[in-house]
Chain A
Amino acid sequence: MDAYPEDYISHNLPLILLAGLEADAHDEAGPPEAQYPLLLERGFQVESDIPPVTGQLADNLRNAFLKEDASDAPWNPNGYAGQPGGIGFRLKSIGRSYRLPSRKAELPPTSPISSSEQKNSDITATTRVLHSPISPLTPGSPTFPDGFLTPLWVTKHQNLVPAATVNFFSLTADVNMSSLRDNQLKIEISNLKNMWASSGYKARFIVVLISENGIYPEDLDDRLASIRRAANLDPRSTFVLPPDLSNADLKDFTTSLLSSLQPSVVEYYRDLSKHARRKRNRGSVPPPTVPPTIGTSQTLSLHGWNVRYEFKLGVFAEFRQEMDAAFRNYESAYEILFGQELFESIAGWNPRFNDARLLADSLAIRILRCLLWSGQTTNAVRRWVSHRDRTQDIVNRRGKGTKNYGWSAWEARWSMVMAQLIQRAEIPSFSADVLQNPSRLHESIFAPPEKNLPVNDIALPWELLHHEGYWLDRSAKYSVLRRTLAHKIPVDDRIAPGQTPASKSYMCDTYLVPAPHSEAPDSEHATFDHSGLILDTLKASLEQFSKRQQTRKVERLSLQIAREYVRVGSWSEALNILKPLWPQLTWRSAGWWELMEEFAWTLRECALRMQDNETIIRTDWELLSHVFSPRPGWKYDLHQSLRDLQESKPKPVVVLKAEDVVSCLSASLVFERAEGNVGEPLRVQLTISSCAHSGSTPINISEVKVGFEGSLRPIKLQSDHNIEDNAPYYDIFSVPLRDSAASVDSPTFLSPTSRMTSMIGSTNLTFRPSQTRAFNLTSIPREAGETKIASITLLIEGEKCDIVYAITDIKQRESHWWLETEKGPIPKRIGKDRDTIVCKILPKPPKVRISTLNLRETYYTNENVTLDIQIHNDEDEAAEVTAQIKLFGRPESTRLSWADDAASSEGIVNIGSKNHSTNSISRAMGRLASLAKVALPIRLSDTNDALDFELEISLVYYLVTDMETPISKTMTVDLSFVTPFGAKFQLLPRIHPRPWPNLFALDDSSIENKSVEKPNGLQQKWCLNSKVVSLSSEPLIVKKISLVLIGIQGATSCNISPEVPISPQTPQILPEELRESEFILDIQQLDLDDRRPTTLSLALDIQWRRPGVDEADSSVNNSVTTSSLGVKPFPVSMGEPRVLASAIGNDTLPGMIYLDYTIENPSMHFLTFSFTMEASEQFAFSGPKTTVIQLVPLSRHTVRYNLLSFKQGLWIQPQLVVVDTYFKKTLRVLSTEGMRSDKKGILIWVDANG
């Protein structure tokens, strides 16, 4: 708003003059007052002889008053001291004398032309009406004859004519002098009062009497009353100050005095308003002092007068702080001004055109202020836009158009005005409360639509009042445009007037802007400072945006400011602005490369000018990245820019952190596997690729350092300076690493492993654009634990500066491993589910091997298993080995022992396990030389059950070179035991060939040898038929099968014959092969009298071996296994009668069979049996058809039948029914050898050959 006369546009506050205190320092030559016409020549002088009141109290009082000055108060209803509706004042201390502007202008000197009318002049002079020196009616006034208004009018009311004067006098304490002084005072006050009254201005007259120290309070009232009476003072306008007042008291006094003034001040301006309104309502143009000469100029029209009056009314209302009233007056003034008769009728070349624009702008500013005052933000913006549009319209039609710098300047200014109005109005949305509250910060971007807006009236986006930053930004934009337009002024038009007649072909609007010759001079003449204006505006805008944390906008404005500085050659200022922003630029982190590029090039230019080496390198490094668009004609060469730097000592090092910069080189490192072992090679791949602009010079990396967290040693790759021009774009190198010399390296950047010496390799480290190289590296970890890639550091050495590019925050989204294929190197995705920058280093793996030599797939129950465990020492050195073997499963019944020396095993104390169980054996094996092997035979015995076992062989060993670290190796073996054979048994009766004991025969031997108990009971003969089937999966060799008697229940003796094989006998039994055999059992009761039933427990023992085992060996080794198969307990009944059939064939007569039925009566009763032989179609028989046999106790009898079969080669079935006649019980006929039986009875084979 600086371009406008301050009084014309600023808010009006009633002027209060403080007379009788020390005058304001700058009062003497106040410029606005001085400009007022005739002020010095004809101004009304108010003077007083009494010197100003001095002293501490007077000073304090003066300060207290001046503090109440509301000139800087915000332009809103709460502006003045927080009292709504309160009126702030403008306060001015003037000393004792003051000059008021004259109310009427002088009579103009009579012009020589009118000398002919001299005689009439006296008459006319008396009738001439005199007007204010600034009225359009007064010749010599700036507005004469057709101007609307001059800013001086506002100046008069704001700065020259007070609404009230406060006169300070001191009241003497000197008793002797008091009456004299009081009299002087009375005269002086009366004089002053009269003077003010005679000035024609109706300022209120206030008197403040300041009591001197030591005044008698008793006299005071009388003295005051006398002064008041003499000076004819109103008691309400007289104040007395006691001498000793504190500052707080003074403040209270001033505020109460000023607020008591308010009603009278309002009244004062209301009177002025009334006066103006009366003049307006008169509806005619007042007569001028001198009638204008016809044809030379025109007078102000009635509409023009109305604009004047409305404006005045508005200003007076504003003085009264009645903003609504002021708004209405301003509005109507504005509308009349833009009406057809006024603005439209002024020609563009007329200076009055610009005066009108100034008035229009002033009115618009005042209207905007009124709107903002009442919180009508949206209406304010609309008003702002409409004023712009109307002005544009009028300037286009009547003025010099809007295509010149003058219009742009106005646009810029008009935006600026809005920004300043917003600032002064202190809009609630933009208040400090909102700005300092992060959760409400977003509300401070633009004010919400005002509340009293009609519902269907929706504000356009821009009509929501945005904060000052936006307005300033807009202003700056137009200032830039203004400069551009100014520079387009033809050179001929820039010549200062007076030098050469200018052609004036260029139409320029010079409203509030310098003429072309100073706007854009052709020479080095002092010019308008465009850049200064733009910079100030941008900075002000930036301040607003940064208050609201609009970081990106701030960055953008900073860039604009810097560019403006660059334009004027202020490189260091530009650099100072850009450099702090560069490292944390939001555009970088979010990938707005286009914007960042703009920034970078400007920064680089500044850095180059200021020889800021570091910044040059930093920007060059990033600009080399191909994300930025290549600059046409620019030679991208990092090494050249390093060479071009200014020399400095010591050689600087620029450290670039990967997370902070966009890089032209990228590097990554991956572990091949998630796990590695101490002492074993660990493969990592380092991939470096260049993302520099195509066409840029290759980058030579001098050194690459990789640091690890954990125990891995740092790796350092050095360039071998071997530059190949046509190296392929993708390349894989295997770089051998060697230990660096004993000297300690310079610490690796940010690496926790820097204390360790590096592994060094050298390779080609020159990278062309888009070139990718993978380096396969192998490192041998020395300690277990997790290791992680801590940093990758690329060092580029230049002649004058070194670059260190450090990647420390390594996070790889996906990892690749470059593989050499037929089609060239390709990246293969690896480590999908793991963190490829972390590797777990496991302890050294055991290199002692355990093998089980003769482990079989299956073992058989009862087998004695001998296992040879072999231990190989594959370590590079000898080892102390302790072995421990444990058996898991059902260990209770199975015994584990050393096969070679069972005794020695138990003495060894277990090392591996704490609980010493019987099924765990251990042995110290002593020192085992490198590459030696030792066998450890173990045996498992008592494997009676078909079960699965688990054998754990664990070794704990120490290398002789490192007796501290135990290394363990464990192996588990599954052993499954199955039953090798299954068997089916059948017990068949036989006829005992020996005669039964004779009850009547006395055995001599029994008498002789009583001590030896010889069985003399009944005998029975049985045959046990066994069918053994092999359940094994391999052929086994059966050595012997025997039936063993496990136990007899009852007093019986039992003899078992050896095996009588039935099926064809081979020693080998194949899987699922059947082997049938018979055993004959002779059973005899020990005592004939014993009738108790007897039960036999039998088992079948099968002695067998595996076919592979050598016969000779088997004798030594217990390779023959005896598998025992249990037979169901066999009850033998010796007390019941039975019938046994036996058949004998006749050799001579085929089909002839002698069939004997032997009936036994082992009981002690006489038994009668009836025999009935049934006839059969199969054979003929001889013998009794029916007979009865009576058997005495303990006897047997045989009945023979001769059978002749009709056919040969078949089974015949004779049916003999034997019935115990006493018990009416049919006895079953039992078959014996060579016979079979079924349900119906016995079957006899009739041999074909007889």
Chain B
Amino acid sequence: MKSFRKIRHKKLFAMVPTIACIGIIGRSDDPLHISLFPPYMESRLEFSFLLNSCLDILETRQKQTSVDQDLGLLHAVDERLSVYGWLTNTGIKLLIVVDLAGKPTTAELEKRRGHAVSTLKDSDLKPAFRALQNAYIQLLQNPFYSPDAHIPNIKATTPKHSPCSLSNRKFLTEVNRIGDSWMPGIAIV
């Protein structure tokens, strides 16, 4: 037992978790925005499927009487990718896909952090979610942004053209910044 733990650590010493994808899902489960991060920039469809499948778990979890804002781990699809969720009180779902072996550790990172990343705690994602929620709140404060305009309605009205219709540049930049700069153990993203 001891030895395989050693190997596991050896592998993870070399790799640092990163955010692979950030998904913002609307109140009626509609995708508002999906941001992809290297090395998954080309796998939009795959990640759409992945984010979409998280809604199943959200749904079953919401059958409980109370659901915390921080949903924690929703599921992991394999040994690399796992999805964490956050539910705002307006029903917006923030989903973050973490790649456990996102990028190799650099010496600089090691030095700065002081200790090696061997685990990923649920709480590691909290700063990222908070930052995302703040970014979303800022977006809502924009008087030109109408959150209801994105609710898909197939009933006799014209559906909106783009499925992911958040196009506020400031918001998107912020989402990308969060995705790029997050790392486990970071206090504020």
Q: Which residues of A contact B (CB under 8 A)?
A: 331, 335, 379, 382-383, 385-387, 389-390, 438-439, 441-442, 445-446, 457-462, 464, 466, 470, 473-474, 477, 545, 548-553, 556, 586-595, 598, 625-627, 658-659, 661-663, 666-668, 689, 691, 792, 807, 809-813
Contact = CB atoms under 8 A, between A and B. Distances in A.
Contact of A461 (B3, B52, B98, B154): B98
Contact of A550 (B53, B63, B73, B160): B53
Contacts of A466: 75-76
Interface residues of B, number: 51
A590 B29 contact: yes
Interface stretch (B54-62, B105-113, B168-176): B54-62
A837 to B, nearest CB: 10
B52 A587 contact: yes
User: Which 6 residue pairs are nearest across A and B when measured between Cβ atoms?
Assistant: A591-B152, A461-B82, A386-B4, A590-B29, A550-B56, A461-B76
Contacts of B119: 457-460
Contact of B76 (A389, A446, A593, A663): A446
A445 B161 contact: no
A613 B101 CA distance: 48
Given A474-B78, A556-B52, A627-B163, A666 B152 contact: no
A809 B155 contact: yes
B27 to A, nearest CB: 10
A590 B63 contact: no
Contact of B11 (A389, A545, A792): A389
Contact of B121 (A458, A474, A689): A458
B64 A462 contact: no
Nearest to A560: B49
Contact of B5 (A382, A595, A668): A382
Contacts of A446: 73, 75-76
A625 B73 contact: no
B52 A592 contact: yes
Given A550-B53, A592-B163, A666-B156, 20 more contacts: A385-B8, A386-B7, A439-B64, A441-B63, A460-B79, A460-B82, A460-B119, A461-B82, A477-B78, A549-B56, A589-B28, A589-B29, A590-B152, A591-B30, A591-B152, A593-B163, A594-B48, A598-B45, A662-B159, A663-B154
B78 A590 contact: no
5 contacts: A446-B76, A460-B100, A592-B48, A659-B154, A813-B153
Contact of B159 (A387, A473, A591, A813): A591
B90 interface: no
A586 B48 CA distance: 13
Contacts of B121: 458
B8 to A, nearest CB: 6
B53 A548 contact: no
A792 B157 CA distance: 12
B156 A807 contact: yes
Nearest to A331: B1
A387 B5 CA distance: 11
Interface string B31-62: 10000000000001100110011011101110
Nearest to A663: B154
B120 interface: yes
A589 B31 CA distance: 11
Nearest to B78: A474
A838 B121 CA distance: 55
B76 A661 contact: no
Interface string B140-161: 0000000010001111111111
B30 to A, nearest CB: 4
Contacts of A459: 119
A50 to B, nearest CB: 53
Contact of A691 (B7, B56, B158): B158
B75 A445 contact: yes
Q: Which of A457, A462, A588, A810 has the most CB of B within 10 A?
A: A462
A949 B34 CA distance: 73
Given A464-B76, A470-B77, A691-B159, A556 B63 contact: no
A668 B157 CA distance: 7
Given A464-B73, A659-B154, A592 B31 contact: yes
Given A331-B1, A441-B63, A442-B57, A666 B158 contact: yes
A844 B98 CA distance: 69
A1195 B89 CA distance: 110
Given A589-B154, A666-B157, A552 B52 contact: yes
Contact of A460 (B120, B155, B160): B120
Nearest to B34: A594
B120 A379 contact: no
B163 A792 contact: no
A874 B120 CA distance: 85
Contacts of A626: 161
Given A441-B63, A442-B57, A442-B64, A812 B163 contact: no
B8 A470 contact: no
Contacts of B30: 590-592
Contacts of B7: 386, 389-390
Contacts of B160: 627
A807 B155 contact: yes
Contacts of A594: 44-45, 48, 163
Contact of A792 (B28, B29, B100, B156): B156
Contacts of B80: 462
B167 to A, nearest CB: 16
A445 B57 contact: yes
Contacts of A591: 28-31, 152, 159, 163
Contacts of A663: 154, 156
B55 A552 contact: yes
B110 to A, nearest CB: 19
A461 B159 CA distance: 37
A771 B78 CA distance: 47
Q: Which of A382, A386, A442, A810 has the most CB of B within 10 A?
A: A442
Interface in B71-99: 73-80, 82, 98
A544 B163 CA distance: 30
A811 B77 contact: no
Nearest to B154: A662
Interface string B1-34: 1011101100100000000000000001111000
A379 B4 CA distance: 10
A553 B60 CA distance: 13
Nearest to B79: A462
Contacts of B48: 592, 594-595
Contact of B60 (A442, A598, A689): A442
Contacts of B153: 813
B123 to A, nearest CB: 10
Contacts of B55: 552, 586, 590
Contacts of A551: 56, 59
A668 B156 contact: yes
Contact of B154 (A445, A556, A661): A661
A590 B44 CA distance: 18
B18 to A, nearest CB: 14
A588 B155 CA distance: 11
A592 B163 CA distance: 7
Interface in B109-128: 119-121
B19 to A, nearest CB: 13
Contacts of A587: 52
Contact of B161 (A462, A588, A627, A666): A627
B120 A553 contact: no
B119 to A, nearest CB: 4
B156 A810 contact: yes
B157 to A, nearest CB: 6
Contacts of B148: 813
Contacts of A595: 45, 48-49, 52
